A and B are shown apart, each in its own frame.
Chain A
Amino acid sequence: MNAMPSEVGQIVWRHRNVIDVDCFTREELYFLLDQARHMENVMDRPIKKVPVLRGKMAVNLFFENSTRTRVSFELAEKMLSADVVNWSVSGSSHAKGETMRDTAWTLEAMGADIVVMRHGAVGSAQYLASKLKRAIVLNAGDGTHAHPTQALLDLYTAWKHLGNLEGKKIALVGDVLHSRVARSDIIAFKTIGCDVVLSGPPTMMPREINSLGCRYEKDPKKAVENADMVYLLRIQKERQQDGLFPSVDEYHRWWGADDDLMKYAKPGALAMHPGPINRGVEIASEVADGHQSVILEQVRSGVAIRMALLYLCGGGAR
C-alpha cells in the first residue's frame, strides 16, 4: 500500500448524490481513495462490520440484471450495517406500467434513505434524484451514460498499484460508443491527471472523440504503447448483429488483448477489465489470468469504494 499522497487532507464532503464522476475534484477523488483504503481494512477483519449506517435503509433498485454490481453494493451496505432491500424490476418501468416518478415516491414513502439504481435509460439516475426529497441516489449505471462506482474502483485499484497517478497513461480498448464504464473512466482518469488514449473499431467510437478530451488510435498497439494501464472494455456480442464489426474472430485478431499486445505497454503494466470477461474476445486467457491482471482486485476494490461512498454520502460523514 502506498503512502497517502500529499493532496489528501481533511475536506468537507459536499456530495449527497453520485450521478457521475464529473462532480468530483481531484482532491475529492484522492480523499475518497483514502477512505476506501480504510474501508478495505474492515473487509479483512474477523468481524466484517462497522455501524456507520446502522438504522438506515438502503434500497438496491435494479431495472437491469447485474448480479455483480448488485452484490457488491449489497456487501458494502451490509458491512456498514445498513438494512438492505433488493428491488429488481424486469424490463423498464414502462413495461411494469409505473412511471419512475411513482416508483421514486413509493420508495420515499417506505422510508428509504439510500437508493442505488441501475437503469437502462440515460439520465435516469439524475431524474430519480430530482424526484427524491430525502433519500440519496447512487448511480449504479444509467444506460450508456455513466457508471461512477466502476470508474472509482478502477481508480482505486490503479492507485494502489501505481501510487500518484498524475502523468500515467491508460489505454481503453473496445466498444467506447456503448460503454458507460468508458465514459466514467475517461472523466475519472483525466481528472486525476492521467493521459487517456482510446482504441477500438471506428464503428464503436463516438464521432466526436475530441469532446471527450482524449485521443484515439485505431491501432491498439499504438494506443497501448508505453501505457501504465491497459483497460479492456467488454464487447457485447449482439453488437455484431448490429453490424458494427463483422465477426468476433476479426475483433479479437485486431483489438483483443493477448500477450503480444501487452508487450507494447510498459513492463508490468496493469491489465484491467470491468467484468464479466469474454475470454477470446476482448481478452485472451493468457492476459486475464496472467501476472499483470488485476481484474479480481478490481472486484475487491469495488466493495471498498462503495463502502466509502455510502459512508460519505449517506452515513456519518454528513
Chain B
Amino acid sequence: MGKILFTDFKIFNGTEFIDDREVLVEDGKISKVGKDLDSSDAEVIDGYGKILSPGFVDLHAHFRDPGGEWNEDIGSGARAGAAGGFTTLIAMPNTKPAISEPSLVEYVLSHGKAAGASRILPSGCVSKNREGKEMAELLKMAEAGAVFFTDDGAPIATSSLFRLALMYTGKDQPRIMEHPEEISLFKGGQVHEGKVSALSGLKGIPAASEEIDVARGIALARETGGRVHFTHLSSAGALGLIRQAKKEGLDVTCDTTFHHLTLNENAVINSGYNSRYKVNPPLRSIGDQAALWEGMLDGTIDAIVTDHAPWHMDEKDEPFQDAPFGIASLECAAAVLIDFKNKNYPDVPLELILKQMTSSPASLLPEKWQSLGRIEEGAIADITVIDMERTRIVDCSEWFSKARCCPWEGIALTGWPVMTFLEGRKIWQDNEDL
C-alpha cells in the first residue's frame, strides 16, 4: 500500500486540535504526525487549511441485511457511511434473521468487507433469535467479531435476562447496548407525549418510558458491576439518571442521535405530520433537546449516533400514522450537526462534537478497535476531511443509501465531510470540492 502525505490541514486528533499540520500515512497506518515531514515518494494531498479528523465512528446503524435488502443492504449502507464521513459503522442485529449466532456475525463482516467502503462491525443480539428468552452465544459471537450485544429495536425483554447477560459478559466482553423503553408505555405510540400528541391526537410515547428502562438498567449495572450502554437517549429525565449513575462511579455510558440534537417535536407539527419526522424514540420537547446539549457539554453523553434507519420510499412515503419509524441520515448527519451547532451553539467548540463522533465512541469498542477515532502515530489511518466552508443542499435522490428521504431534504447546510479514507485508502470524495 502506498504512502500519503496530508499537508496543510487543521488536525483534530480525536480529542483536540493540534499545532501540527501534516500527517504521513504508510501501509494503512498513521506513521507520523508533525511538521515538514519527508514526502519523497508519497502522494501529497494539500488540505488548504481544511480539517483532518479521525474517521467518524457510528455506534448505531441499521442496514436491513439480511432480510430487508429492499430498504438497504450492507453494501449500500457501507457506501452511504463513507459518503457521510463515517469510517466505522456498528450494524444493529435486528435483521431477519436476527444476528444472534456466530455465522451471522461472519456474514455481516464478510459482506461489509466486500463492499469496499466503510468498515462494518457487527453487533449481536443479547437473546437467541432476539426473542428475549435465553441468552445467545455471546462469547462465540464476540470471538467472531461482534462488538456490542443488543436487542435493539426493543429493550431486553426481562430484567432477569438483562441481569444474566451483564453477569456473563462482565468487563472483558463487548458491552451491552440497551434500547431504553418500557414497552407498556409505548404500545401504539407515534409521537412524543406532549404538545405534538395534544395537537395531533396521535398516541404519545411519554418520556417516562425511557426513564423507567434507564432506571432498570442502572440498578442492574450497580447490582452486577456490569457495563451498560444506553443508546439513542432522547429525554432530559433519562439523561439525569445517567449523570447521577456516572457520578456514583457506575460503568454506564450513553449516546444520543444527530436528529434528537437538532430537531424537536415542533418539526413534526410544522411539517403537517410528515412521515419523514417519524422516529422512535420520538422527537421530544425543546426542553429535552436543550438537555441533550447540556449532556454533551458536561460529558454525560459519550457518543453521537445516526440510528440510521433506512426505508425504501414505498414504505416510508405514507401518511404519518401508517409509516414506519426511522430516519436515515448517514449521508448528511455530520453536516446537519455542524451546521446546527454553528447556528445555535456558536460558542460550543467544534472539538466537543467531533470527539463524540470519533475517539469517544471508539473507546467503547473492544480492545482491538481502541485506536480508532484517533490521529496519532501507529493508529489505523481512518481519516475524514471536513470543509467548514462547503455549502451543499441535501439531495436524497443522489444518496448511496436506498432510503431517499430525510428531514433535511432540500435544506442548504454548511460544513461537510469532503473526503473519506479507510486504512489509508480513499473510499469517497466529494467531486465538486477541492
By a beta-carbon cutoff of 8 Å, the part of chain A in contact with chain B is 19, 92-94, 99-101, 119-124, 126-128, 142-145, 177-180, 183, 206-209, 211-212
Contacts and interface: CB of A to CB of B under 8 A. Distances in A.
B202 interface: yes
B211 interface: no
Given A206-B197, A211-B199, A145 B322 contact: no
A211 B322 CA distance: 25
Contacts of B194: 207-208, 211
B188 to A, nearest CB: 10
A143 B321 contact: yes
A211 B195 contact: yes
6 contacts: A99-B314, A121-B318, A121-B320, A122-B190, A124-B322, A177-B201
B319 A119 contact: yes
A127 B277 CA distance: 14
A100 B320 CA distance: 12
Interface string B259-284: 00000000000001111000000000
B318 A100 contact: yes
Given A92-B322, A121-B319, A121-B321, A126 B199 contact: no
Contacts of A142: 319
B317 interface: yes
Nearest to A182: B201
Contacts of A212: 198-199
Given A99-B314, A126-B273, A211 B321 contact: no
Contacts of A94: 322
Interface string B181-220: 0000000001001110111111010100000000000000
A121 B275 CA distance: 11
A124 B198 CA distance: 18
Given A19-B272, A99-B314, A122 B320 contact: yes
With a 10 A CB-CB cut-off, give which of A94, A143, A212 has the most chain B CB atoms.
Answer: A143
B13 to A, nearest CB: 45
Contact of B198 (A19, A121, A207): A207
Contacts, number: 85
Nearest to A177: B201
Contacts of B200: 122-123, 144-145, 183
A35 B272 CA distance: 28
With a 10 A CB-CB cut-off, give which of B190, B200, B314, B319 has the most chain A CB atoms.
Answer: B319
A179 B195 CA distance: 16
With a 10 A CB-CB cut-off, give which of A120, A183, A207 has the most chain B CB atoms.
Answer: A207
Given A120-B321, A122-B202, 14 more contacts: A92-B322, A99-B314, A99-B317, A122-B319, A122-B321, A123-B319, A126-B273, A127-B320, A145-B273, A178-B201, A180-B201, A206-B204, A208-B197, A211-B195
A237 B319 CA distance: 27
Nearest to B285: A208
Nearest to A142: B319
A128 B193 CA distance: 26
B321 A123 contact: yes
Given A120-B321, A126-B272, A145 B204 contact: no
A33 B190 CA distance: 35
Contacts of B273: 122-123, 126, 145
Contacts of A183: 199-201
A123 B274 contact: yes
A208 B201 contact: no
A123 B198 contact: no
Nearest to A205: B198
Contacts of B204: 206-207
B355 to A, nearest CB: 35
B202 A101 contact: no
A93 B314 CA distance: 13
Contacts of A126: 272-274, 319
Contact of B322 (A121, A144, A180): A121
Contacts of A206: 197-198, 201, 204
Interface string B228-244: 00000000000000000
A127 B202 contact: no
B197 A207 contact: yes
A208 B319 contact: no
Nearest to B188: A242
A145 B274 CA distance: 13
Interface string B269-313: 000111100000000000000000000000000000000000000
A145 B195 contact: no
Contacts of B195: 208, 211
B290 to A, nearest CB: 17
Nearest to A211: B195
Nearest to A92: B322
Nearest to A102: B314
A60 to B, nearest CB: 18
A206 B199 CA distance: 8
A212 B201 CA distance: 11
Nearest to B195: A211
A23 B314 CA distance: 30
A143 B201 contact: yes
A101 to B, nearest CB: 6
A91 to B, nearest CB: 12
Interface in B315-353: 317-322
A127 B319 contact: yes
A100 B319 contact: yes
A207 B193 contact: yes
A124 B322 CA distance: 9
Given A93-B322, A121-B320, A144 B201 contact: yes
A123 B201 contact: no
A124 B201 contact: no
Contacts of A178: 201
B317 A144 contact: no
Contacts of B198: 206-209, 211-212
Interface string B129-157: 00000000000000000000000000000
A123 B197 contact: no
B194 to A, nearest CB: 5
A305 B319 CA distance: 27
The 8 closest A-B pairs by CB, nearest first: A144-B201, A123-B273, A206-B198, A121-B321, A123-B320, A124-B319, A211-B195, A121-B319
